[in-house]
Amino acid sequence: MCKERPFPGLMMEHRLMSDLESALPDGIVKTRVIYLLRWYHKKAAHYKFVTYIATGLSVTLPAFLSLLNTNVGKELLGSACAGRLLVILPLLSSVGAGFYAFIQSRTNWIRYRLAAERIKRETVLYINTYSKGYSQSAEQEFLQRIEDICANEVLEWENLRGEAQQTPQQAPPQLPEAPTSVQEDE
């Protein structure tokens, strides 16, 4: 039985993760960094998958619809079935395109991947510093950099979601300014 081998890039990624995990000293730093790396990689892989599926469907669905409009498509599936698919598939395509735009999978994929790469970079720099001799200040600085990466990611996520939710129609109306004083002439 032949064992499947993952892609070379994936093998190198697994090797790097195991090297980072073995090089970091045990403790909260190691736990936090490994957790964040795995979480960001998992999210990036999820959004990459969604992006590839959506891109594939956006290419193949119009071609399939063109085929259905021909006599060959009607002969293969029957005219009634082809007619139903000509109604249903564009509907599904529109809903799918809207959903794809809503979840912003390509943008999220890139964001999560960049966050993971930044964490890996900081981890490698820290391991290099740690190998020269343990320093509590280096560990604190490293943790601060990792937490800054996470805080920036959360801030970016909040900004993206805030922009998506606040449209000009949803902006609160401006109230007129109240008069400061009223003077009456007698």
Residues 7-25 pLDDT 10s: 666 677 778 888 888 888 8
CA 59 to chain centre: 22
Q: How far apart are CA 102 and CA 84, in angstroms?
A: 27
Residues 34-72 pLDDT 10s: 998 898 889 888 888 988 888 888 888 888 888 777 887
Extents of the domains making up the chain: 24-164
Q: How far apart are CA 115 and CA 41, in angstroms?
A: 9
Q: How far apart are CA 20 and CA 32, in angstroms?
A: 12
Task: With H, G, I as helix, E, B as strand and everything else as coil, classify residue 179.
Answer: coil
- 48 burial class (0-12, 13-18, 19+ CB within 10 angstroms)? middle
Distances from the Cα of 152 to the Cα of 104, 115, 132, 146, angstroms: 18, 9, 29, 10
pLDDT of residue 148: 92
Q: How far apart are CA 1 and CA 6, in angstroms?
A: 16
Bin 24: left if φ > 0, else alpha if -120 < ψ < 50, else beta: beta
